[in-house]
Amino acid sequence: MSDFGALSVLPPLIAVILAIVTRKAVLSLFLGVWSGAIIYTGSVGISQTFDWIIGAIADDFHAQIIVFTLLLGSGTALIWRMGGSYAVRSWALKRLDNKRKVGLATWILGIAMFFDDYANTAIVGSTMKDVSDELRISREKLSYIVDSTAAPIATLFISSWVAFQLGMIEDGYEEAGVSDPPGAVEVFIQSIPFNMYAILALVMVGIIVISGRDYGEMLTAEKRASTTGKVNRDDARPMQDVSAELGDPYADTPRLLAFVVPIVVLIVVTIGSALWTGYEPGASATDMVIEADYAIALVFGSFAMVVSSFVIGFVYDILSLDESVDTTIAGFGIMLTAVSILVLAWSIGSVVSALGTGDYIAGFAEGTVPAELLPVIVFLLAGAIAFSTGSAWSTMGIVTPIAIPVAWSLTGDHTMVAAMIGTIFSGSVFGDHSSPISDTSVMSATFTGADLIDHVRTQIYYAFTVGFVVSFLLIMWGYTEVTPLLLLPVGVVMLAVLVYVLSGYDSYRRGISPEQEYTEFSED
């Protein structure tokens, strides 16, 4: 239990509430860190505040993600200056001529990029942004599709997330004192059907895209974009605005390869570097994926993207060397807001770690929950911690060593342990999707050019809808132990019904058509 008690919850709450109310993410996060320093030191806390901020920057993993983000900004800027974004937009609009097709393409591309959520948001957001703008899809909607695909898919297949999760499973069994535990990979595979939020969040995106129905603040955003062409609201502060900051492209005749080659290089070098970092003599492909260093692979991939853009600009006489260098530096600039928010979100993570926020929240459930309700309680607990800390990974690190021993002591059943693993992953992503201080929310808003708080405010309606259905299914499983493979189709039906009912009611209440128009694109 945290030494600071209920006070340990205040800093993340201050950051979250202020961010939602004021829409000023940087100020809200800084005040959250500062309030934590005041609680931690019992004084004005300025020195401790900047110690945490500097520590967040100095962390090896964080530094690598910062470099990756800045290089991605440069790669994006170079593609824009060479006219690559214009070329891919023209190419795509001949094939993706309505909102449904664009949404489906974004969703499918996000599922295909399962190996890392950061790379997923960068590639999918950058690829689809200009196309969705042309068809008047709000940046909030695009950011939702990207965010609600990237993290969920990364928890279901071999990825950087799964590599971390496997280590957490081993730690949990060790904490439980199980003398002969099953293999971590075996338990992970058994846990996949219990990772209901990730599975149903992906389904929810498909339902929303195919049906064209929205509700809550997303309905307002889509109505605005459809009727006015404003993909962001007037007072929005997009995490990046390439066209506004960089001006018109230099190329008179945009070439598709100016977009395709850098993106392909990014993907190939990232995956290749990841496998290379995980290679040891005699290692299998699975071992290489699990042991890979994804952060440095992202750095290598983004750097290769920039280099390939330099080469294309030079070979096709689109950009001179001086222009490429200037564009690279300008690209750093378009990512400064995202980097600032990432650093402060990581600093909040240092605050909650120092104050013991996660342990305080987790302590309520330990040893007091009946076995039937344990899965849903762990799901909601993980969601609350991820929401407060802004980190799904830290949530898994906090909850797994607690939940697995509790599940084992209550039941002595490996199936219950697998259920715990799935629900921990589910709750972590659920809280991550609902939090304005989440790094994945920041990255999704960044690469889709959305306002961070607008992204969270619109996505949270859908996240809570899926969270409600998952809670119901976990309670059903806890009392009946019906296989989750039968419960998941029930969840799909429930989601479809809820989307139609909620969108119909909200549209009727506002006097708005429940379905967005899927008219074909026209040059007129």
- In eight-state DSSP terms, residue 180 is S
Comparing CA positions, the residue from 9, 236, 25, 231 lying closest to residue 128 is: 231
Q: Select from 394, 336, 349 the least CA-distant residue to 69.
A: 336
DSSP 184-215: HHHHHHHHGGG-HHHHHHHHHHHHHHHH-B--
Task: Measure the CA–CA gap between 118 and 407, rounded to whole angstroms.
Answer: 32
* Angle of the 374-389 helix axis to the 10-22 helix axis, nearest 10: 70
What was the pLDDT predicted at 520? 45
What is d(CA 272, CA 264) in angstroms, rounded to the nearest whole number? Answer: 12
Torsion sign, CA atoms 129, 133, 136, 139: positive
Asked if 516 and 212 touch (Cβ cutoff 8 Å), the reply is yes
Widest distance between CA atoms in the chain: 70
pLDDT digits (tens, 9 = 90+) for 293-331: 877 888 898 899 999 999 999 998 888 899 899 989 988
Q: Is residue 119 within 8 Å of 265, Cβ to Cβ? A: no
The pLDDT value recorded for residue 504 is 92
3-state secondary structure 407-455: HHHHHCCHHHHHHHHHHHHHHHHHHHHHCCCCHHHHHHHHHHCCEHHHH
The pLDDT of residue 523 is: 41
Determine contact, residues 361/380, Cβ cutoff 8 Å. Answer: no
CB 376 within 8 A of CB 474: yes
Helical segments of 194-293, H only = 196-211, 217-228, 242-246, 257-277, 285-291
Q: What pLDDT is stored for residue 41 in this prediction?
A: 92
In angstroms, how far is CA 194 from the centroid of its own chain? 20
Given the structure tokens 């609600």, which residue do they identify?
148
Q: What percent of the chain shows pLDDT beyond 70?
A: 91
Write out the DSSP string of 32-67. Answer: HHHHHHHHHHSS--HHHHHHHHHHHHHSHHHHHHHH
Nearest partner of 455 among 435, 471, 470, judged by Cα: 435
Nearest to 106, CA basis, from 496, 346, 415, 444:
444
Q: Partners of 451 in the beta sheet?
A: 238
Determine phi and psi for 29, rounding to 5 degrees: -65, -40
| Region of residue 228 (left: phi > 0; alpha: psi -120 to 50; beta: else) | alpha
pLDDT at 246: 63
pLDDT of residue 97: 81
The Cβ of residue 356 has, within 10 Å, a number of other Cβ atoms equal to 18
The residue ranges of the chain whose pLDDT is under 70 are 1-2, 115-116, 119, 158-160, 163-164, 240-248, 250-251, 358, 361-369, 514-524
Among the residues of 257-391, which ranges form H helices? 257-277, 285-291, 294-315, 321-334, 336-355, 357-363, 374-389
The closest of 116, 146, 119 to 131, measured between CA atoms, is 146
Residue with tokens 């222009």: 323
391's tokens = 């980190």
pTM, two decimals, is 0.78
